Structure 1
Amino acid sequence: MENFSADTRRIALDAMGGDMGPTEVVAALQLALREFSDLCPVTIVGNEAELTPLLQQANLLDHPKVALLHASEVITMGDEVMTAIKRKRDSSMIKAIELVKNGEARAVVSSGNTKILVSAGTLKLRTLAGVERPALSPVIPREGGHFILIDAGANPDARVTHLVHNAILGSHYAQLELGVERPRVGLLTIGTEEGKGNSLINGTHESLKALGDLVNYVGPVEGFQVFFDHVDVIVCDGFTGNICLKSWESLSKFFRNELKAQMLSTPVRRLGGLLAKGAFTGLRHRIQPERYGGAPLLGLRGTVLKAHGSANRYALMNAIGDASEFIRVDFTSRIESDIERANKILRPEPADAKTP
């Protein structure tokens, strides 16, 4: 089934990449169509033989906003990057990215292999003018709200310019996703004193200060400040960010499991747990990852949203909704002018190259 319309404001949805399988992806698409009245059209990409009965069961087979594009291959978590990109050209992930590259869609949503998604998205879509490397930017809960972490793993070997670009990308994303008009941007380091950090941190700190009002840079932040209301965007390299993100997720699971074990350990505590059930439910909803279903790969000529490999239908539903919002506001076009201004500040034109 293919019923592509002339409308290119379309989402390409990879149905085969995640741990939960296409059943959960179709359920997420059904939920998204119910939840978001202005949702952009969606092309679901994957094995037609598996998807057709699922779409039919969900009453989406002839839905005016849904198209199906057959893909005979699947990229697995064990695939090597270049092997997958070169040899699995008929995979659901690569074909979804190709839809954006060819102008038949504006955004990709996938819960597949992160490394391959980042690499394929970068190679096929290319970065925005002036941007050297893309960055993954999940939304993380903190005291009184949320913050943007950028980069969470796309670029582990970052340079000063990359982190400055991350600050601009993250600031724009915070405006869109968090609704903050003037996001506070902080640089993750080991101390807030001047000069306390490695050469990458110190160089980035000086460069961010040089940007003036282009970015609302409030200075370095330490690890113990992260979950309090200090900043809206935390900038770091992808190596550091990925370790932070996975450590926070692991710690969150540890506390949930430990709290549950402690509350069930005695009859008195079980009774207390029942009395406090509402508070525990509220806490679970507050920190649950489903609310922000995907981390965008910012800085590309097109939107790529990476959902967690084990994302359920509610997380995927929100990722699809976020992709639609990116398309609606034409997010990528808003960034290039700020990147150009930053590059001129960081790399001014030589005096002898200027026109008299």
Structure 2
Amino acid sequence: MGTSNGAKSRIAVDAMGSDLGPAEIVAAAKLALGEFRDLSPITLVGNEAVLKPLVAEAGLSGNENVSIFHASEVITMDDKPLMAIKRKKDASMIRAIELVKAGEAGAAVSCGNTGCLVGAGILKLRTLDGIDRAALAPVIPRANGHFILIDAGANPEAKPDHLVHNAILGTHFCRMELGVEKPRVGLLTIGTEEGKGNALIAETHESLKRIGDLINYVGPVEGFQVFCDEVDVVVCDGFVGNICLKSWESLAKFFSNELKSQLKANPVRMAGAVLAKGAFNALRNRIKPERYGGAPLLGLRGNLIKAHGSANRQALKNAFHDASEMIKIDLNHRIEADIARANEAIQRVVV
């Protein structure tokens, strides 16, 4: 099976990059197509000999919204980004991104090696006009809702202009993903007083104030504020963001495991746990990563979503939906216009 008409609306899925195997990817495609009636068609990119039986088993053979694009190689989690991009030219991840570049798909989704995905995305798709660096933007739960963290690791050595761009990228994605019309944007730092933080923070803060007509900048925010209902977009460089993301994920797992251990400590607590089962289930559903299946790599000339390596079919289903929505609203066109205006405002001050 190959790609079909309406190629630009298709989602190219790296079907070989998941820790759970291609069967989970196919199962996710079936779930997504069944739940989201207006979902863009899906092209599964990977070894056809492996995928074809799985598609048949899932009852998707002959479905006009599912196709297979053969790719003979797989990028593993142990592969070094530049080496893998150079040597594994027929890898499923690379081919999925190339389908977007060629206009044969409107978005690509992969659970694979993050470094390889970011590197291949930048090399193959290039950044939008006016943007130097791409940024990863995961969705994270907080009080009364969720917020966008940007950047979560794509650009660890950022300059002030990069963080200004992150604010614009995050604002547009927040509107699409969370439905917040005027997202509150905060700059992550070590204190909210003027002058707190390093030179990067100080210069970025001044630039963000100058583009107030493009974003709803509420000022610097500290770490304890991000989980309160105070900001919808948290801006930082990729070094800080990646540490924050992994620390928060680890802390959530720690509290979950610790709670289970303490509840099982004696019969009285176990009885209480049974009575509070509904509350525990609600909490688990509130913070589970499956609700938002992946983090988009924003700022590229094409839509690219990074799903977690161990993402299950429910998480992937939602990642496919996000990819479909990004295609439909033409997110990049809206971003480019605001980036141009921001760059002009910043340049006027520099000159």
TM-score scaled to structure 1, two decimals?
Answer: 0.97
Between the aligned partners of 1:6 and 1:167, the Cα distance in structure 2 is 33
Query: For residue 200 of structure 1, what is the amino acid of its counterpart?
Result: L
The residue aligned with 1:251 is 251
Query: For residue 228 of structure 2, what is the amino acid of its counterpart?
Result: F
Query: For residue 146 of structure 1, what is the amino acid of its counterpart?
Result: H
Between the aligned partners of 1:248 and 1:300, the Cα distance in structure 2 is 27
SS for the counterpart of 2:245 is helix
Cα offset for 1:104?
0.4
The residue aligned with 2:194 is 194
Q: Is 2:162 aligned against 1:162?
A: yes
1:29-73 CA-partner distances (Å, limit 9, x unpaired): 000001100011111000111111100001112111111001100
Q: 5+ unaligned residues in a row in structure 1: which ranges?
A: 352-356
Cα offset for 1:178?
0.7
Q: Is 2:320 aligned against 1:329?
A: no
Query: For residue 263 of structure 1, what is the amino acid of its counterpart?
Result: L
**Aligned CA-pair RMSD:** 1.0
SS for the counterpart of 1:217 is strand
Between the aligned partners of 2:339 and 2:208, the Cα distance in structure 1 is 12
Cα offset for 1:81?
1.1
Residues 7 and 106, structure 2, Cα contact 8 Å, conserved in 1: no
Residues 32 and 318, structure 2, Cα contact 8 Å, conserved in 1: yes
Q: Between the two proteins, what is the percent identity of the paired residues?
A: 67
SS for the counterpart of 2:339 is helix
The residue aligned with 1:126 is 126
Between the aligned partners of 1:254 and 1:294, the Cα distance in structure 2 is 22
Q: Is 2:24 aligned against 1:24?
A: yes
The residue aligned with 2:305 is 305
Cα offset for 1:4?
2.0
Residues 164 and 208, structure 2, Cα contact 8 Å, conserved in 1: yes
SS for the counterpart of 2:310 is coil
Query: For residue 188 of structure 2, what is the amino acid of its counterpart?
Result: L
Query: For residue 223 of structure 2, what is the amino acid of its counterpart?
Result: G
SS for the counterpart of 1:205 is helix
Cα offset for 1:214?
1.2
Cα offset for 1:86?
1.1
Comparing 140-149 and 76-85, the one that deviates more:
76-85
Q: Is 2:207 aligned against 1:213?
A: no
Cα offset for 1:349?
9.1
- Give the length in aligned residue pairs: 351
Query: For residue 212 of structure 1, what is the amino acid of its counterpart?
Result: G
Between the aligned partners of 1:16 and 1:140, the Cα distance in structure 2 is 26
The residue aligned with 2:234 is 234
SS for the counterpart of 1:250 is helix
The residue aligned with 1:147 is 147
The residue aligned with 1:13 is 13
Between the aligned partners of 1:57 and 1:307, the Cα distance in structure 2 is 24
Between the aligned partners of 1:227 and 1:164, the Cα distance in structure 2 is 22
The residue aligned with 1:354 is none
Between the aligned partners of 1:282 and 1:130, the Cα distance in structure 2 is 43
Cα offset for 1:7?
3.6
Q: Is 2:312 aligned against 1:318?
A: no
The residue aligned with 1:61 is 61
Cα offset for 1:212?
2.3
Q: 5+ unaligned residues in a row in structure 2: which ranges?
A: none
Between the aligned partners of 1:145 and 1:25, the Cα distance in structure 2 is 28
Runs (4+) of structure 1 moved beyond 4 Å? Answer: none
Cα offset for 1:226?
1.1
Cα offset for 1:8?
1.9
1:217-268 CA-partner distances (Å, limit 9, x unpaired): 0000001111000100000000000000000000000000000000011000
Q: 1:349 to 1:256 in 2, by over 3 A?
A: closer
Cα offset for 1:6?
3.9
The residue aligned with 1:338 is 338
Between the aligned partners of 1:18 and 1:7, the Cα distance in structure 2 is 24
Query: For residue 60 of structure 1, what is the amino acid of its counterpart?
Result: L
Cα offset for 1:3?
4.5
Query: For residue 104 of structure 1, what is the amino acid of its counterpart?
Result: E
1:135-191 CA-partner distances (Å, limit 9, x unpaired): 000000000000000000000000000000000000001111111111000000000
1:75-96 CA-partner distances (Å, limit 9, x unpaired): 0011111111111010000000
The residue aligned with 1:103 is 103
Query: For residue 309 of structure 2, what is the amino acid of its counterpart?
Result: G
The residue aligned with 2:172 is 172
Q: 1:164 to 1:320 in 2, by over 3 A?
A: same
Between the aligned partners of 1:230 and 1:258, the Cα distance in structure 2 is 28
Q: Is 2:284 aligned against 1:284?
A: yes
Between the aligned partners of 2:61 and 2:301, the Cα distance in structure 1 is 30
Query: For residue 19 of structure 2, what is the amino acid of its counterpart?
Result: D
SS for the counterpart of 1:212 is coil
Residues 188 and 235, structure 2, Cα contact 8 Å, conserved in 1: yes
Between the aligned partners of 1:109 and 1:205, the Cα distance in structure 2 is 33
Cα offset for 1:350?
8.7
1:268-303 CA-partner distances (Å, limit 9, x unpaired): 000000000000000000000000001000000110
Cα offset for 1:213?
1.6
Between the aligned partners of 2:7 and 2:104, the Cα distance in structure 1 is 8
1:108-147 CA-partner distances (Å, limit 9, x unpaired): 0000000110010011101111011010000000000000
